[in-house]
Amino acid sequence: MFKSFAIVSLVTTAALAQSSIPSGISSGCSTFLTSLNTDNTLTTCLSSLTSATADYQPGSDASKTPSTAKIGSALSNLCSATVTASCPESLIRGKISDFYSACTAELTSNPNADVINIYDVLYTISPLRAASCSKDDSGNYCLTQAKLPTSGPTAAQIQQVLSSSNVSPNTDTFSKYNIPFFFLQPNLPSAELCNVCTRNVLSAYMNFEAKVPYAPGLGKSVLLAHQPELYTGIQNTCGSTFLSGAGVQAAGGLAGGTLGGSKKSGAVQNGVGAGFAAGMGLFAFIASSAL
């Protein structure tokens, strides 16, 4: 379904125009996805993301050896008022609501995997940007502090996934290692899990979900399926008040299962660099293959 992980030769307009409409869906859903393919406001939105993450195209020097200067520049671009104006959260929320209205059956009662994948990627845009722009109490971007899990892939393996421009991106890897949540895992020790960045990153998703729930249930998401178990792990390790104020409605859904569901200066340190590149790579993937 997704055309390419690369963004170097795929501007958003081309990515949208070349995407095919899933088969076996209702005429209303097909009409909506066709119109989304040529939506100028969404094209402008996604173009601003591809421009902001241009240094992190697969195989680029910045992607291979992230530096503090490149990281600062990329995040400043991504979190700028210009990108906010071009790609406001309200625009994405509106498209998601329209998506659900047009494709209710395909997302819920008669699920279509291709339609859900399109919805999944579109849904992740705003909370991922908010998480990427979150900072700790010292004003450092949380994304720059992401660490590879000890039992997870090596930095080289992450780079292989990110630099795979000839095949579709391995979304299972993004989900398995919780890359949308910067590698956070529910079984991390409290010293690594119970900090302000964990709160801010998870809150970015929960606050968005409180405004527009994930229609198919997070258990059906490719990218966000492990959020409910991460939430539970944080509650168990950090205490029930750790996430107080973060997306109260979404938190209730995560705890009760309504959003969940069953579904199994110089070079930066290697793990941190891979974590940052993974975050930027996921943005590159999303911006170039939202449909």
Q: What would the DSSP string read from start to end of the chain?
A: ----S--SS--HHHHHHHPPPPSS--HHHHHHHHHHHT-HHHHHHHHHHHHHTGGGSTT-HHHHS-BHHHHHHHHHHHTSHHHHHHS-HHHHHHHHHHHHHHSHHHHTTS--HHHHHHHHHHHHHHHHHHHHT-B-TTS-BGGGG----TTS--HHHHHHHHT--SS---HHHHHHTTGGGTT--TT--HHHHSSHHHHHHHHHHHHHHHHS--TT-GGG-SSSTTHHHHHHHHHHHH-TTTTTTS-HHHHHHHHHTSS-------BPPHHHHHHHHHHHHHHHHHHH---
Please report whether residue 2 resides in a domain.
no
Asked whether the CA dihedral 220, 224, 226, 228 is positive or negative, the reply is negative
Please report whether residue 3 resides in a domain.
no
Please report whether residue 73 resides in a domain.
yes
**What average pLDDT does the structure give for the chain?**
72
The per-residue pLDDT for 60 is 58
Please report whether residue 5 resides in a domain.
no
Please report whether residue 6 resides in a domain.
no
Name the pLDDT band for 25 (thresholds 50, 70, 90).
very high
pLDDT greater than 50 at residue 11: no
Please report whether residue 182 resides in a domain.
yes
Q: Identity (one letter) of the amino acid at 245?
A: G
In terms of pLDDT, which residue wins out, 256 or 90?
90
The per-residue pLDDT for 90 is 95
The per-residue pLDDT for 286 is 44
Please report whether residue 1 resides in a domain.
no
Note the maximum CA span of the chain: 54
In terms of pLDDT, which residue wins out, 202 or 166?
202
The per-residue pLDDT for 215 is 92
The first and second tokens of residue 141, run together, are 């971007």
Name the pLDDT band for 203 (thresholds 50, 70, 90).
very high
Name the pLDDT band for 2 (thresholds 50, 70, 90).
very low
Name the pLDDT band for 66 (thresholds 50, 70, 90).
low
Please report whether residue 92 resides in a domain.
yes
In terms of pLDDT, which residue wins out, 21 or 159?
21
pLDDT greater than 80 at residue 174: no
**Residue 111: domain span:** 12-288
Domain count, the chain: 1
